[in-house]
Amino acid sequence: MLTMLTLLVACFDQLDVVIQAPSLDSFQDTAERKEVDRQTQTFLGSVLQSVLPVVAKASLRLISGLLGLLLDRCNIVAITQTRVCRALISANMVSQFMTYTFSPVWLY
């Protein structure tokens, strides 16, 4: 599963849901926009939901490595404007916040 997560992050800007994401910014209700929205929702509900448990248990070192890979290999300005990227990054941040904020280890 870590290999799939690494490949997902490394090739993130090549995903159809990322490439076609600007069509979601349109206010016109076209067939293309509906199809991209359906694909995005499917991706968020299937692929991202299967990756979230791995991200939640990952170490901070792995998460920072994945974020570094994302910064090195992708056009960060373009991908951060997509719903999929915001969901992936926020999942990373929330899981790490929950791990390190409420962990009894830092109390020692």
Structure confidence at residue 59 (pLDDT)? 85
Per residue in 69-85, pLDDT tens? 988 998 888 888 898 88
Give the confidence band of 107 by pLDDT, cuts at 50, 70, 90.
very low
d(CA 68, CA 46): 24
What's the pLDDT at 17?
A: 92
- Other beta carbons less than 10 A from residue 36's beta carbon: 20
Helix 31-43 to helix 83-101 angle (10° resolution) is 20
Query: Could you tell me the pTM of the whole model?
Result: 0.75
